[in-house]
Amino acid sequence: MSMTNALGRIEEIRSTLSQLSGAAAAKPATASVAAASGTDADFASTLSSLTAAASAAPTGAAGVTGGAAAGTAADGKVLDAVQKYLGLPYIWGGNDPAQGLDCSSFVQNVYKDLGYTLPRVTWDQMNSGTQVASLAEAQPGDLMFSHEGGHVSIYLGNGKAVDAPQPGQTIEIRDMWETDANLTTIRRILPTESAGASGVGAAGASAAAGLSDLVASARAAQAAMMGSAA
């Protein structure tokens, strides 16, 4: 690979890494094809900054786009959103976050806080979002409808759920009593983040590996050039 081609490809991969991470990190001072026609000192300076970027890129890409990390962040948003409602009493027909809520109003308020608009009552809510086939495929944040749509709770994962249960009780995180046998439907409102993030993470890792390989090629080109000059 010629020095010009190596620098051109490095610039392409750097652009990809910057887009994946959401910010341009460790941008070289003169990382462009034009540097190939400059002095040895210019090329050495460019190569040095590219080497630093190659070392930093895998960590930055994984930190931003890792599938597991994205999933954990989504789970945390749901937990954060329910916190302020814990301890509120169940009130049939209640829709006052300061006084009390019923099951569907609790769900409506939680998802409003997350930036999603849901209908007021369970029979309308159970047509929102997309259907999840079974609890085996459920993700934290999915809505679980039982009693023919008469009750709704939020799945939290790890055998836990949260809801406004019934008169005389309060909104609490609890062990799940829901099963596939007694659920009417499961609905997903939140977007599935982990699958998309995993794909982006793989792309970031590939781009980082490509950048390292091209830096090695550029070093070989520099060595050959210096050998010819000698």
> Is the pTM here over 0.75, yes or no?
no
Q: How far is Cα 34 from Cα 212, in angstroms, rounded to an integer? A: 20
What class has domain 67-191?
alpha beta
Q: Which residue has the higher pLDDT, 51 or 151?
A: 151
pLDDT band per the 50, 70, 90 thresholds, residue 48:
low
State pLDDT tens for residues 80-121: 999 999 999 999 999 999 999 999 999 999 999 999 999 999
- Decide: 8 and 214 in contact? Cβ < 8 Å: no
Domain range list for the chain: 3-65+196-229, 67-191
Q: What is the pLDDT of residues 175-218, one digit of tens each?
A: 999 999 999 999 999 987 554 444 444 444 444 455 555 555 55
Tokens 């210096």 label which residue?
226
Residues pairing with 155 in the sheet: 161
| Residue 159 contacts residue 132 (beta carbons within 8 Å) | no
Residue 38 scores a pLDDT above 90: no
Amino acid letter, 90: Y
Residue 227 pLDDT class (50, 70, 90 cuts):
low
